[in-house]
Every structure is written in structure tokens, then in C-alpha cells.
Amino acid sequence: MESANRLNLGVAGAKGRMGVAVISLIAERGDLSLAAAFDQPDSAEVEFAFRTCEVIVDFSAPAGSTALARAAAARGGPALVIGTTGFSADEEAAIAEAAGAIAIVKSGNFSLGVSVLAALVEEAARRLSAEGWDLEIMEAHHRRKVDAPSGTALLLGEAAARGRGVDLASVSERGRDGLTGPRSHGAIGFVSLRAGGLVGEHSVILASDDEVLTLSHSARDRKLFARGALTAALWVRGRPPGLYDMRDVLGLS
């Protein structure tokens, strides 16, 4: 592919595990060109990235991602693909505000399989109502992960909540210890495990008195997330301002 047709891409959080994975895949592609890479949002490379990149893929940290979104919005670009997780409510609101000026694809998981899983979870939750079916989400990651539940677990929880027509925050149950009493009616429960080098395991369990349905996904290599992020980067180039997710990228919305 001619270099003129390549997407000029930047990577934020370039020294992290996901940043390294994204950069290694860019080098293998003919449709992408690494124009800039930086680790800290206040580094000198950021201004260079804003001048040279059409899209920046960001796997940094919540504060850094929020600062990057605000700065990009103030300039009117570039577009962003945000894979960072663990945002506070204020940071989520700031990114949503930035999406009024630039195109942002934000997802807790860029796996194509997880995106399809979320669509299945939403449909299952819609058809198997809270009147007869309890819903629990289990996730397991490596020992170094700092946020819980994982962004993917929350993404699946949001899908389940949409299916049931409820707000996730109003029905979420996270962590049970001691004499908790019976399970709350209509709750969407979360269980988080941290051990070894697990890349990512997610299961959504819908259980009635008589049967159990389990929908699950296992990640074997974090490069799969990098591939999905690059798919999102190609998709978001030239899009109008807005806050998008992988459902939009894959046409599942």
C-alpha cells in the first residue's frame, strides 16, 4: 500500500504492555504508519503527535487519557481510540464532553470476540428476565492489574443492564463478605480474581432455579486487544465528533 494512503497513528502509553503490543503490530501493517509515540500526556512528544497524527491510540492511565482528550478537543483533533479503564465518574464526563468536539472510540475491551459476546449478553438479559434469572459476571486477570471490576466486566454489565432496561449503577453488586443476607432481586453481581499472568477471562452466568446459561470469553494473547484497537483507529478516521464504542465499529449498534 502506498505510504500516502496509510493512517498516521500515534500511541499514548507507549511503554506499557498494551502500548508495546500496539506498536509491534503497526510495524507489521502496510496500512498504518507510526507517526508518534509517548508515555506521559504532558511530554514534548504530545504536541508533535497532535501535529502529525490523524488518530491516537491511548492505553495509558485515567488521568492521562482525560488530559489527552481535553487537549485534543481544544485543538479540534486528532481523533482518539481510548482503551484505558478505571475512570472516575468525573473523568468519564470529561471524555464525553471532549467527544462533542472530536471523534472518540472508547471501550473497556477491543477484542472482536468480546464485542460479539456483549451483544449476546444484552439479548440474553432481555429474554431471560430478572423475575426468574439471576445474573453474575466473573472476571480474572493477571496480578498486576490495578482496577476491579475490569473494564470488560463493566462493559458486559452495561450490556446486561441495557437488555433489562435498568441503570447498571442502581443494580450493581460488587463483593460479598460475611453475613450479606440473600441476593438482591434483579442484581447484576461482579466477582474479580487476580492471579499469575492471566490475560483475561470473563463469564456471564444467568441462572434460574432449573437451569444455567454461561456465556464466556478467554483471551490468550493481549495482541488481540491491540488488533481490535487498530481496527477502531482505521474506522474512526474522518468520523464526525461523537463518543463511539466497538459496537459502532463492528456495526452492532
- 2 Cβ contact list (under 8 Å, min separation 6): none
Question: Does 142 qualify as catalytic in the annotation?
Answer: no
CA contacts within 13 A on the Cβ side of 87: 26
Contact 63, 91 (CB under 8 A): yes
Contact 36, 48 (CB under 8 A): yes
- Which residue carries 492471579 as its cell? 195
Contact 222, 17 (CB under 8 A): yes
**Rg of the chain (C-alpha set):** 19
- 159 Cβ contact list (under 8 Å, min separation 6): 118, 119, 121, 122, 125
Question: Does 141 qualify as catalytic in the annotation?
Answer: yes
Contact 77, 104 (CB under 8 A): no
Q: Is 197 exposed, middle or buried (0-12, 13-18, 19+ CB in 10 A)?
A: exposed
Q: How many CB atoms lie within 10 A of CB 200?
A: 23
Select which of 15, 106, 141, 142 is catalytic: 141
Select which of 145, 185, 217, 223 is catalytic: 145
Catalytic residues: 141, 145
